[in-house]
Structure 1
Amino acid sequence: MAAPKPPPPPPPAPRSRTAHATAPDDRSPTRPQVSLQQPTHKKGPTKSTKLFRRFRAVFRSFPIITPACKMPVKLHGNRGLNDGHIHGGTRMTGTLFGCRKSRVNLAIQENPRCLPMLVLEIGIPTGKLLQEMGLGLVRIALECEKNPGEKTKLIDEPIWTMFCNGRKTGYGVKREPTDDDLNVMQMLHAVSMGAGVLPSEATDAPEGELTYMRAHFERVIGSKDSETYYMMSPDGNNGPELSIFFVRI
């Protein structure tokens, strides 16, 4: 009688995939870790400040309410300016960014190290806006309808009709900051003012290099239905190069 065959050897243990899953891929772009801070929550305006704003609203807000697409009067020279600062305004950091053929985005921050308090997608291509700014002063008016009894803050309105230098150019849409938006803000956290391009490998931009321009903006609140952001020139001697008006009518 033949001897019984020995049992087959046990199958080899499966390879661990942990090392492969955690090992970095040299071909993938390195994205910086977001360390932006929450914006501060400042106390509301005092009674005297409210009275001052009501008085100031008479000449700040009226020109852009009637007619709807009329641009406000421009600031001449350094009228209303003191070393590049508008009286009654709050200095903010504003960043315009986007691929040249895609719609431009506007991010407003308290300072470059804070999370954006407003991200707005503007109905004009980035390249077109830069071209307009190269030709002279640019005025953007964003308008929405006023609903009686509504308590939504002005910059929290979701959609706006947009006019650029008096011409209707589409719509502005407010949105929550995406991971790509925060990635751009993080890469620019050390930049207070400047302009340039970010490579597509660093931003995941589907349409090539991403163009950005960052500057100081003066935020002037005329009333609960009127708010303006003036982009200040670096030398502080001239008036705003770009002004963005938010108004409910």
Structure 2
Amino acid sequence: MWGPIMAEPMPESEERDPPAKSIPPTPPSPPSLPRPMGSLLQPTHKKRPKSVKVFRLFRSVFRTFPIFTPACKLPTITGSVPENRRNMSGTRVTGTLFGYRKGRVSLSMQEAPKCLPTLVVELAMQTNVLQKEMSSGMVRIALECEKRSEKDKMKLLDEPMWTMYCNGKKSGYGVKREATEEDLSVMELLKPVSMGAGVLPGNSESEGPEGELAYMRAHFERVVGSKDSETLYMLSPDGSNGPELSIFFVRL
């Protein structure tokens, strides 16, 4: 058995080496900064002057050129505001429906195309099914959730899950989620687009080399009926009759 190795004593006549200076510990590296989110801006949540809204309404008509050639079955944005709410006032927002053809479609709501999403909901419907519903001329999507007790009350659009109905038929559940990197990439690519429909290159790792992500973007009138009811009405740039899309958020 090997015994412990004993150090030989140093003769007193020999000069001892000066003690080595202690090296201070290396300070921990600072936490890495979050990955920048492109050039999308934080929403302001401020009311804009009426004159600014009128100017943007006219300007949006001339910003209808998608950055990719439309090549999907999603219809042209020509839906008009329903007659029963033409006199109602609301806030104009940008809404984008996007998803892979055989994947679930997501709804993103932004204050403006250049802003970060204020709401992202994954709907209980495949993109190709929504395309077929839109071809019928009118789509009504209702997202319903149960009322909470007063102490657990939260804002309607902060609810994490809704029961979804499309044209009166139950489809499943819509789920609110934080915007993913792919969501933000889509919003970044569509920043120059005010309204339109088309396709974007998909994620080849999950959808294959032929996978394409379809999108439809439009202006929506956001009407707040109460703390338990909000509606998004798709707007038409020219007021012509055509496919209509309304999305209802309701707490029952």
Question: TM-score normalised to the size of structure 1?
Answer: 0.68
Structure (1 or 2) with the larger CA radius of gyration: 2
Residue-by-residue CA offset, 1:71-90 (whole Å, 9 max, x unaligned): xxxx9864533xxxx63111
Deviations 1:32-87, CA, capped at 9 Å, x for gaps:
961100001337xxxxxxxxxxxxxxxxxxxxxxxxxxxxxxx9864533xxxx63
- For 1:230 and 1:152, how far apart are their aligned partners in 2? 23
- In structure 2, the residue matched to 1:196 is 198
Counterpart of 1:40 (choices 31, 44, 50) is 44
Contact 2:198 2:215 in 1 (8 A): yes
- Alpha-carbon distance in 2 for matches of 1:77, 1:88: 13
2:114 corresponds to 1:113: yes
Equivalent AA in structure 2 for residue 234 of structure 1: P
Q: Is the 8 A contact 2:40 2:188 kept in 1?
A: yes
Contact 2:137 2:243 in 1 (8 A): no
Matches within 5 A, 1:163-182: 163-182=165-184
The letter of the residue matching 1:38 is Q
Which residue of 210, 216, 219 corresponds with 2:219?
A: 216
1:239 offset after TM fit, Å? 7.5
Count of aligned positions: 182
Stretches of structure 2 lacking an aligned partner (at least 5 in a row): 1-35, 48-79
Q: 1:109 to 1:42 in 2, by over 3 A?
A: same
Tell me the secondary structure at the aligned position of residue 135 of structure 2: helix
| 1:232 pairs with 2:235 | yes
Which amino acid counterpart does residue 212 of structure 1 have in structure 2?
Y
- Equivalents in 1 of 2:205, 2:234: separation in Å? 28
Counterparts of 2:92 and 2:236, CA distance in 1: 13
- Partner amino acid for 1:166? G
**TM-score scaled by structure 2?**
0.67
Summarize the alignment of residues 82-101 of structure 1 with structure 2, pairs less than 5 Å apart.
Answer: 87-101=88-102
CA–CA distance in structure 2, aligned partners of residues 76 and 37 of structure 1: 29
The gaps in structure 1 that reach 5 residues or longer are: 1-31, 44-74
| Percent of residue pairs bearing the same amino acid type | 64
Q: What is the alpha-carbon root mean square deviation over aligned residues? A: 2.2
**Residue 189 of structure 2 is aligned with which of 187, 190, 195?**
187
User: Match for residue 247 of structure 2?
Assistant: 244
Q: Distance in 2 between matches of 1:114 and 1:137?
A: 28
Aligned twin of 1:80? 85
Q: Which residue of 1 is the match for residue 163 of structure 2?
A: 161
Corresponding position of 1:145: 146
Is the 1:76–1:239 Cα contact (8 Å) retained in structure 2? no
C-alpha separation in 2, matches of 1:228 and 1:79:
13
- Measured after TM superposition, the shift of residue 184 of structure 1 is 0.2
Measured after TM superposition, the shift of residue 241 of structure 1 is 1.0
